[in-house]
Amino acid sequence: MFKFIKIQKKPYRGSLFFFEQFKYPKEYHQHNDTNYIKTGKLISIEKKLSDDKLEMTTTMVWRSRKDFISYVTDPYVYGFLMQSRDYEIDNDITIDVVIEKDDNE
Amino acid sequence: MNKITWKKINPTDYFSHINIPDDWNSLEEFTDWYLDSKMPLMIPFDARVIVSDDACAICIFKKGNYQVELYLQYPEMWVRKHCHPRMDSIIMQLGGGSSSPEDIYGVSKSWGYIDKNLPPGHYHGGDSVTAAFDGKVILAFQRWENPKEMTSAAIQWKGQLQGNHQVKLIKNYYPNALVQEGYADITLPKDQIES
């Protein structure tokens, strides 16, 4: 199992996280459903907003690190990941990442 | 020849077929020239191995105010948001570290992806998914505004820091620059408080 935890922090309450600003197309959800959820690669995804609404913690649990890498290097997904990264840079949203994994990963 | 040397290649002969221009008109032109020349590893005699928190690097070619640095990004690391105030840079992916699927010849599919020129002060980094990789390798093509300042992109830095090794590197080359908890700006004096 491979857990990828991304913590996004925005500078002030009025600013928006990428997912609040950008609506992912239906095809994106279908793509993920077909390739990662129904195949059992992505086990769960959970988003948690802090009480002060400034910090968003996204926890993705993957069957393996290899499955996670196949997702982030998927050419279709990659475009959206880069859009999100550029948005975070432009809007001063700071990122932290925590990885939890099995010993064999 | 001593007892352990098999043979000695003469660098003058080895690199003699490479036609090195006196100058280039742009970083793109320099990058094209270096790649068309099949990426000669002409490491300057005084090139220092740069050891930072997310990567180590060395200059593999330098002429005038142009240089190429080879970066070995460590496993489970990612580069935080930053810019380089007085240089243009172009990044080329060389793969490795399971950072993308396998292509022919066994290299990464990402091999050969070249980003657009990042002009001075243009923020980049923040690609946190690389924290899942077993590291990766990149080339950083650079055009510095001031050839006397040329060191490493890991040192000519404005933005979030990678860790204590980078703090030491920056303080060593820019002793009067602003370096504070988790952030540096080599364009500001150290007594300046960055909000």
pLDDT tens track for B68-120 = 999 999 999 999 999 999 999 999 999 999 888 889 999 998 899 999 999 99
Domain boundaries, chain B: 20-151
Name the token pair of B70: 């080879």
Please identify, in words, the CATH class of the domain defined by A2-101. alpha beta
How would you label B162-190 residue by residue, b for 16+ Cβ within 10 Å and e otherwise? beebbbebbeeebeebbbeeeebbbebee
pLDDT surpasses 70 at B193: no
Averaged pLDDT, A43-71: 95
Q: What is the mean pLDDT of residues B28-51?
A: 98
Q: Is A26 helix (H, G, I), strand (E, B) or coil?
A: helix
- Number of H-type helices and E-type strands within chain B: 3, 9
Picking from A99, A72, A95, the residue whose alpha carbon sits closest to that of residue A17 is: A95
Domain range list for chain A:
2-101
Nearest to A89 among B110, B124, B133 (CB): B124
CA B107 to mean position of chain CA atoms: 21
Give Cβ neighbours of residue B72 (< 8 Å, ≥ 6 apart). B55, B56, B57, B135, B137
Query: Are B48 and B149 spatial neighbours (Cβ–Cβ below 8 Å)?
Result: no
The pLDDT value given to residue A75: 87
Integer CA distances (angstroms), B127 to A48, B85, B151, in order = 21, 20, 24
Greatest mean pLDDT range, A69-73, B55-59, B109-113, B132-136 = B55-59
Instruction: Provide, as residue numbers in chain A, all residues whose Cβ is less than 8 Å from the Cβ of B80.
Output: 95
pLDDT beyond 70 at B194: no
ipTM of the assembly?
0.78
Which chain A residues are closer than 8 Å to B74 by Cβ? none
Q: Please tell me the predicted confidence (pLDDT) of residue A103.
A: 76
Indicate yes or no: pTM above 0.80.
yes
Q: How large is the average pLDDT for residues B141-159? A: 97
Nearest chain B CA: its distance from A25 CA (Å): 22
- B97 contacts in A (CB within 8 Å)? none
**Residue B161 reports pLDDT greater than 60:** yes
| Mean pLDDT, residues B3-32 taken together | 96
Judge whether residue A18 has pLDDT over 90: yes
Do B153 and B142 form a contact (C-beta atoms < 8 A)?
yes
| Residue of B129, B158, B162 to mutate, testing the A interface (most A Cβ within 10 Å of its Cβ) | B129
Task: Give me the pLDDT at residue B99, please.
Answer: 85
Residue of B nearest to A83 (CA): B127
Q: Which residue of B has its CA nearest to A88?
A: B126
Q: Which two tokens stand for residue B47?
A: 């090139």
- Distance, in Å, from the CA atom of B157 to the CA atom of B125, rounded to the nearest integer, reads 12
Chain A: residue whose CA lies nearest to B83: A89
Does the domain at B20-151 match CATH 2.60.120.10? Answer given as yes
The Cα of B158 is separated from the nearest Cα of chain A by a number of Å equal to: 13
